[in-house]
């Protein structure tokens, strides 16, 4: 399951950062995931929390906001919200598009003690 590996990777990054900061405990993690990733933020958070058991992030919440993505069609210059990684323009049907902004998943803040 992709959500499980993402939850584990977010945990790895968070724990590394917490160690760099000399933190005793991770309380919360905030970030975002692009809607084009077609993954449920709640599922990633569930797996993050499961993998965090027995670590300094045990009990920490992972809050991922769903971020919408905008694309521009290279053929007709129309702007639209793609439904997935295939950038299918609803105006002309072209698959030649450019994503405007960021995609993927990002951790923006880590709350530690």
Distance CA 29, CA 17 (A): 11
Determine whether the annotation assigns residue 27 to a binding site: no
Determine whether the annotation assigns residue 76 to a binding site: yes
Q: CB of 56 within 8 A of CB of 25?
A: yes
Distance CA 39, CA 60 (A): 20
Cα separations in angstroms, 5 against 1, 43, 48, 70, 113: 7, 11, 9, 26, 26
Q: CB of 72 within 8 A of CB of 79?
A: yes
Residue ranges for the known binding site for Zn(2+) are 73, 76, 89, 92
Binding-site residue ranges for Ni(2+): 2
Q: List binding-site positions.
A: 2, 73, 76, 89, 92
């Amino acid at each position: 399951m992709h959500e499980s590996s993402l939850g584990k990777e977010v945990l790895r990054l968070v724990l590394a950062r917490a160690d760099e900061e000399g933190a005793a405990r991770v309380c919360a993690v905030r970030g975002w995931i692009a809607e084009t990733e077609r993954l449920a933020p709640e599922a990633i958070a569930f797996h993050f929390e499961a993998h965090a058991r027995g670590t300094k992030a045990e009990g920490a919440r992972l809050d991922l906001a769903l971020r919408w993505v905008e694309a521009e069609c290279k053929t007709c210059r129309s702007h639209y919200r793609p439904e997935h990684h295939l950038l299918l323009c609803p105006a002309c049907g072209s698959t030649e598009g450019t994503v405007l902004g960021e995609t993927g998943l990002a951790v923006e803040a880590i709350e530690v003690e």
